Amino acid sequence: MLNSVNPGKPPRDSEAVDGRRRRLTAEDRRKQLVGIGLMMLRTQPIHELSIDAVAAEAGISRGLLFHYFPTKRDFYVEVMSAAGRRLLRVTKPDPALPADEQLRQMLLTFVAFVTRRRDSYISFVRGAAGGDVFVVEVYAATRAGLTTRVLDLLAEPTQEPASPIRMTVHAWLAYVEDLTIEWSGLPEHARPSSPDDLVDHTIAALHALRSL
């Protein structure tokens, strides 16, 4: 697991294939490291991301990682943040469609996204935190982004965080998330409905909750 000698293993990256240092721009290196973090997030909770492992994967020294990210926390806040942005990006609906179609599409994408990388997503939602204040914030920001988007699609331009409609939509997203996680955790043949039915259900739920 140490990166210093690494005798038998093949070079992990484009790094140091000829034994010489490879010098990247600061930006490229940061991107590479965050990318590795995202990849490793798939198989392990964020807190078990060891700086050693990341550095080894990138083929660099531990010290360099601390050059870019002063603390481990800085690093994984960055990684979590990238994960959140990716979720928002992936589920962004096509603005050319009518609003209700956008909502459908967004939810379908969300279900597909969670299903495809379920463990990773759970790591994001829960492991996210680990109770860590900073990472909780990243998750909260992502959720808030989704909430705002849904409110827009509902033509409810409410912005105050404490407004009932916003709180309802926010909590409804928790409902959708839980349902999706549970649903995608079932083996395919045991799922009581298709993704489309699932999405239909959540949309119906949204309208029902809204009119309470």
> Which residues are at the interface with its own copies (CB under 8 A)?
44-48, 122-123, 125-132, 136, 139, 161-164, 167-168, 170-179, 182-183, 186, 190-193, 201, 204-205, 208-209, 212
When binding is defined by CB under 7 A, the residue of 31, 39, 43, 64 that contacts DNA is 64
Site for DNA in 67-86 (CB under 7 A): 67, 70-73
Contact by Cβ (8 Å): 88, 142: yes
The Cα 115–Cα 178 span in angstroms is: 12
Indicate the length of the chain as a whole number: 212
The Cα 81–Cα 209 span in angstroms is: 30
When binding is defined by CB under 7 A, the residue of 59, 137, 154, 156 that contacts DNA is 59
Whether the CA torsion 94, 95, 96, 101 is positive or negative: it is positive
The Cα 25–Cα 145 span in angstroms is: 31
Q: 188 phi and psi, to 5 degrees?
A: -50, -40
In the complex, least distance from residue 139 CB atom to DNA, rounded to whole angstroms: 21
When binding is defined by CB under 7 A, the residue of 38, 66, 92, 145 that contacts DNA is 66
Asked if 123 is part of the footprint of DNA (rule: CB under 7 A), the reply reads: no
Site for DNA in 7-26 (CB under 7 A): 15-16, 20-26
Q: 161 phi and psi, to 5 degrees?
A: -60, -30
- Angle formed at CA 84 by CA 23 and CA 14, multiple of 5 degrees: 20
Map tokens 């967004």 to a residue: 106
Asked if 51 is part of the footprint of DNA (rule: CB under 7 A), the reply reads: yes
Which is nearer to its own copies, 32 or 202 (by Cβ)? 202
In the complex, least distance from residue 138 CB atom to its own copies, rounded to whole angstroms: 12
Given the rule CB under 7 A, which residues bind DNA? 1, 4, 15-16, 20-26, 29, 49-52, 59-64, 66-67, 70-73
